[in-house]
Amino acid sequence: MTLRVNDLKVYYQTLRGDVHALDGVTFDLADGEIMGLAGESGCGKTTLGKSLIRLDSRMRHVGGTIDLDGKDVPIADDDAMVPLRYHEISLIPQYAMSALNPTRKIGRMINELLRSRGVRPADISQELTRRLELVGLDADVLNRFPIELSGGMKQRVVMVMATLLNPSLLIADEVTSALDVSTQRSVAESLVEFRDREYVKSMVFVTHDISLVYQMADTIMVMYAGRIAEKAPAKTIINAPRHPYTQMLISALPEVGSTMEQGRLEGIPGTPPGLLNPPTGCRFKDRCPMAFSKCSEQPPLLEIEPGHWAACWKTG
C-alpha cells in the first residue's frame, strides 16, 4: 500500500472562522494506482492534493494522518517535510505554464532544482535526456527559455522535472485543463507511460473533467463539499455509480454524439453548501432527490462491494 490517508482534516483560517475544506477524508492508494480525483470547484480536491505535499500559511492541519510506504508523513511540520518533497512526493502544479522561471533556461533551472535537493545534476543528465525524448521533446529544449516553448511543451517539461527523482507519489493538479484536446491526449498518455515504466509509483490526478479521467485512471474518487462521496474503479464510477451525487454528475455530462434532440440532460439544482459553517449530516442532502430523515446524520464511508466505497445511507 503506497498511500494511506486516515480521517484527514485541513481547515483554512479566515477572519470569519475556519473553512472546513477537508473534513475527514479517508482513502488508500495502491502501488501503481492512478486515482482520478473529481468534483465541482470548491469541493476540496485541490486542497487534498496540496495537503499531501505542503500546507500553505492559511491551511491548518486539524487532525488525521497520512502514511506513505508505511512511514508517517509529518504534514503539519514544514521542516520535516523538506526531505520528502521531490524525492518521495512530487507535484505538477495547476498552471505549469507559469511554474517555470522566465529568466532561466530550462536546463539551468533543472540543475538548480536538483542541487537544491542534494542531487548532482551530472548523475542524472542521461536519464533526463532519455525522459525528454520519451515525452517527445528534443534535448535541445534544455537550452531554451520557457517563452520559446508552447503550452504543451512546457507542460511536458514540468512533468519530466517533477518525476526526475522517481517519487513514490505524484500529485497532478489539473495538468491538462489548459491544453488543446490533441495535446491533452498526449500529455495524459505520457503520464500513464510514466507509471507503467515505474518512474512514479502511484498518482493522484486532480481534475474536473470526468471523461478525461476515465481515459487514464484506474480508480476515481468523487468529492463533495470537503468529504468523499464515492470511490471505485473507473469503469464502475462511470457505468454503475451508486452515490446520488455521482449519478447526477455523470448524467449531466454531454457526450460526443449526444444531441439535444436525443434527450435533454439535466444539471444538478442548487449550489454546494458553504464550508465556513458546513451543514450537519449528509452535505448533499439539500440537493439530493433521494434525501430522507436519516440524512440529517452524517453517512459513513462504507465499502459496499470490494473496492467500491460510498458515503450514502441509501447505498449502505
Partner 1 sequence: MLELSHVHKVYRVGAFGGGRLRAVRDVSLTVEPGEVVSLIGESGSGKSTLGKMVLGLSRPTGGTITFDGTDITTIRGHAARKEYYRRVQGVFQDPFSCFNPIFKADRVFEMIRTSYFPGVSDADWRDRVLAALATVRLDPGNVLGKYPHQLSGGQLQRVLIARALLLDIKLLVADEIISMLDASTRIDVLNLLSDLKERGLGILFVTHDLSLGNYVSDKSVILRKGAVAEMGPTLRVFENPLHPYSRHLLSCVPQLHRTWAEVDAELAANPPEDVVLPVAADEESAPLLEVEEGHFVGIDQG
Binding status of residue 212 toward partner 1 by CB under 8 A? yes
Phi, psi of 247 (to 5 degrees): -60, -45
Binding status of residue 82 toward partner 1 by CB under 8 A? no
Site string for partner 1, 233-252 (x = CB under 8 A): -----xx--------xxx-x
Q: Between residue 103 and residue 132, which ones bind partner 1 under the rule CB under 8 A? A: none
Do 9 and 24 touch, CB atoms closer than 8 A? yes
Site size toward partner 1 (CB under 8 A) is: 37
Sequence-distant (6+) residues with CB within 8 A of 59 are: 10, 11, 12, 13, 21, 47, 50, 51
Question: Position of cell 520557457?
Answer: 146
CB 50, min distance to partner 1, A: 20
Q: Taking phi first (over 0 means left), then psi (-120 to 50 degrees means alpha), and beta for anything else, what does residue 170 get?
A: beta
| Pick 75 or 191: Cβ nearer partner 1 | 191
CB 161, min distance to partner 1, A: 23
Interface residue with partner 1, options 80, 139, 240, 253 (CB under 8 A): 253
Q: What is the distance between the alpha carbons of residues 229 and 288, in angstroms, rounded to a whole number?
A: 13
Do 75 and 244 touch, CB atoms closer than 8 A? no
Interface residue with partner 1, options 254, 297, 300, 302 (CB under 8 A): 254
Range list of H helices, 179-264: 181-196, 210-216, 234-239, 244-251
Q: Between residue 189 and residue 208, which ones bind partner 1 under the rule CB under 8 A? A: 189, 208
Q: Which residues here bind partner 1, judged by CB under 8 A? A: 40-41, 151, 180-182, 184-185, 188-189, 208-212, 214-215, 238-239, 248-250, 252-260, 264-268, 271
